[in-house]
Amino acid sequence: MKQNLKTNGTNTSVKVHAIVSNGITIEAYGNVYFLPYSSNPWFENAAIADVFNIEPVGRTGVRWDALDVDLAIESLTHPEKYPLIAK
C-alpha cells in the first residue's frame, strides 16, 4: 500500500518496491532501502499482503501494523549504529 502524505513540503510517501529471495526493498521519504532477511527476519515468512501494508510513522519511521514492526529510518540509513537484531 502506498501512502502519499505531504507535510510542510516533505515527502512522506512509503511503499514496498519488491519482495525477493533474500529481503525486501522499500521506498521511504524519497530514499530506497534494502532490508535483508538476515537482519529483518520478521519479513521472511510473513504474508505478502502484510509486507506490502507499510505506513509512515511521522517523518522518521515506517510501520507494518499486521507484523507489529516499527523501524526508524535512522536504523536503515546507519545500521551499524543499531547492532541488535531480532532472532
Mean pLDDT of 65-76: 95
Counting beta carbons within 10 angstroms of the beta carbon of residue 16, is it exposed (0 to 12), middle (13 to 18) or buried (19 or more)? buried
Query: Residues in the chain, how many?
Result: 87
d(CA 2, CA 82) in angstroms, rounded, equals 27
d(CA 51, CA 67) in angstroms, rounded, equals 8
Which residue's C-alpha cell is 512522506?
Answer: 12
Instruction: State which amino acid sits at residue 43.
Output: F
Mean pLDDT of 56-85: 90
In the chain, where the domains are located: 6-81
Q: pLDDT for 8-55, tens place per residue?
A: 445 568 999 999 999 999 999 999 999 999 989 999 999 999 999 999
Mean pLDDT of 54-78: 94
Topology adopted by domain 6-81: NE0471 N-terminal domain-like (3.30.2020)
Given a cut of 80, is residue 6 above it in pLDDT?
A: no
